[in-house]
Chain A
Amino acid sequence: MKLIFIRHGKTTGDVEDRYGGDYDDHLTDKGRTQAQEALEELKTKNIRLIISSPLLRARETAEILAAGRCPVIVEPNFKERNQYGIVTGRIKEEVAMETPELAEALRDYLNTIEGAESYQDFRNRIVSAVNNLADKEQDICRAIIWHGGPMRVLFRDILKIGEIGKIGDLAWVEIEGDGKNFKIIDCRRI
């Protein structure tokens, strides 16, 4: 079973330095170019199905990678963690000035602020969604378009190879396995 996990491209939220998470922004021109480059890189992988987080930045990335040839389905459980609760979508600098304690609390991913999704709940939904992919064993290469948070859960809790930190635009990792044991066989921008 081959799965390629891909983070979406650069977004308007990145550029404006906002707290992201469970909200919608769009790919910038740069983000679209990054997705086009990744499309070239991934040509030899023969991806036959794309499964995307429902958030627009992932779906826009998915559309470019599908290139009109590959089916795209949406899986709600692949969306980014609602880590930022009441400050979701707010500009980081403004939040740091208004409520510095909140900005400080957000530096540790294990904290759950007001209105946010706990790390436990988030991790459990990602792990369970990836296990579902493994259950629906298919003999084709499938790509998952998602976010930095789920990518970190993949490394930390599923592949169990520790912290990978900030994930770059269009970073991707290809894993091969039998559902129980996975091996990373290719990666870029990790």
Chain B
Amino acid sequence: MLKIYLARHGQDQDNVRGILNGHRDEPLTALGENQAQELAQKIKTANIKFDKIYSSPLIRTTRTAEIVADALSMDKPEPMPLLIERDFGIMTGKPTAELESLCAPNILKTDTITYILSPEGAETFPQLMVRAHQILEKIKTNHQDGNILLVTSGDIGKMIYASYYNLYWKEVLTMFHFGNSELLLLANDSPAENAHVFKTEKFNH
């Protein structure tokens, strides 16, 4: 059976400053490095073994993936450009606290985050669904079974989950928060309602 694990990167410099990162390429903070180390240790303790690790090419995900690969004595993670975070268009680099005022009413508010739906030049969530579908097709073509880890970002990560379980993107955005260094499992015998393998106590985005 093929099991796909999804990890989100640790806290990066933009996360801690409350800046919408997208395709910006800031490194992990000290906390982010710790979070990645903790994730790696939790995986080790749980005796989860991966056959392959893929990572978005941005430094926050690459670094998180490398930390996990090192801890498990695995080969370097393979970059997968399709895994890159959502492009936020002209909202890239804006303070997250201002997103509601800048983008209303074209937003979706949840308990934890305000999602912006279609700012100029941004990928929409439906477009992310298409990309997520393509990511899953690629993984399923290259791997018939085994455990695969994808290290990625929040918005595209949620859509990979939505695509895997054939769920509506709008509903998935309100279902749960995908926090820094959390781990989700997508598998035939793993129910959609219970995707978190590891949750972080406090989300830091």
Q: Is the CB of A173 within 8 A of B137?
A: no
A189 CB contacts on chain B under 8 angstroms: 166
Q: Is the CB of A184 within 8 A of B133?
A: no
> Given that A162-B134, A168-B166 are known contacts, is A187 also in contact with B129, CB under 8 Å in the complex?
yes
Q: Is the CB of A185 within 8 A of B124?
A: yes
State how many angstroms separate the Cβ of B185 from the closest Cβ of chain A. Answer: 22
Q: Is the CB of B133 within 8 A of A164?
A: yes
Chain B 130-167 interface 0/1 with A at a Cβ cutoff of 8 Å (1 = within): 11011001000000000000000000000000010010
Q: How far is the CA of A168 from the CA of B166 in the complex (A)?
A: 10
State how many angstroms separate the Cβ of A47 from the closest Cβ of chain B. Answer: 17
Which residue, B126, B163, B168, has most C-beta atoms of chain A within 10 A? B126
Q: Is the CB of A187 within 8 A of B169?
A: yes
Q: How far is the CA of A164 from the CA of B131 in the complex (A)?
A: 9
State how many angstroms separate the Cβ of A34 from the closest Cβ of chain B. Answer: 13
A155 CB contacts on chain B under 8 angstroms: 130
Given A165-B133, A187-B130, 17 more contacts at CB 8 Å?
Answer: A155-B130, A161-B131, A162-B134, A163-B134, A163-B137, A164-B134, A185-B118, A185-B124, A186-B126, A186-B170, A187-B126, A187-B129, A188-B168, A189-B166, A190-B126, A190-B129, A190-B130
Q: Is the CB of A165 within 8 A of B137?
A: yes
A174 CB contacts on chain B under 8 angstroms: 126
- Interface positions of B (Cβ within 8 A of A): 117-118, 124, 126-127, 129-131, 133-134, 137, 163, 166, 168-170
Nearest 8 pairs between A and B by C-beta? A187-B126, A184-B126, A184-B127, A190-B129, A188-B168, A161-B130, A165-B137, A186-B126
State how many angstroms separate the Cβ of A162 from the closest Cβ of chain B. Answer: 6
Interface size on A, residues (CB 8 A): 17
Q: How far is the CA of A174 from the CA of B134 in the complex (A)?
A: 19
- Which A-chain residue is minimally distant from B130 (CB atoms)? A161
Q: Is the CB of A164 within 8 A of B130?
A: yes
Q: How far is the CA of A57 from the CA of B130 in the complex (A)?
A: 25
Q: Is the CB of A184 within 8 A of B124?
A: yes
State how many angstroms separate the Cβ of B72 from the closest Cβ of chain A. Answer: 32
Q: How far is the CA of A27 from the CA of B147 in the complex (A)?
A: 38
- Which B-chain residue is minimally distant from A176 (CB atoms)? B118
Let me know if A183 is at the binding interface, CB within 8 A.
yes
Q: How far is the CA of A155 from the CA of B126 in the complex (A)?
A: 12
A185 CB contacts on chain B under 8 angstroms: 117-118, 124, 126
B117 CB contacts on chain A under 8 angstroms: 185
A selection of 27 A-B contacts at a CB cut-off of 8 Å is A155-B130, A161-B127, A162-B134, A163-B134, A163-B137, A164-B130, A164-B133, A165-B133, A173-B126, A174-B126, A183-B118, A183-B127, A184-B126, A184-B127, A184-B130, A185-B117, A185-B118, A185-B124, A186-B126, A186-B170, A187-B130, A187-B169, A188-B168, A189-B166, A190-B126, A190-B133, A190-B163
A173 CB contacts on chain B under 8 angstroms: 126
B170 CB contacts on chain A under 8 angstroms: 186
Q: How far is the CA of A90 from the CA of B133 in the complex (A)?
A: 30
Chain A 127-147 interface 0/1 with B at a Cβ cutoff of 8 Å (1 = within): 000000000000000000000
State how many angstroms separate the Cβ of A181 from the closest Cβ of chain B. Answer: 12
- Which A-chain residue is minimally distant from B134 (CB atoms)? A162
A165 CB contacts on chain B under 8 angstroms: 133, 137
Q: How far is the CA of A188 from the CA of B127 in the complex (A)?
A: 11
State how many angstroms separate the Cβ of B115 from the closest Cβ of chain A. Answer: 14
Q: How far is the CA of A190 from the CA of B131 in the complex (A)?
A: 10
A186 CB contacts on chain B under 8 angstroms: 126, 170
Q: How far is the CA of A163 from the CA of B118 in the complex (A)?
A: 23
- Which A-chain residue is minimally distant from B166 (CB atoms)? A189
- Which B-chain residue is minimally distant from A186 (CB atoms)? B126
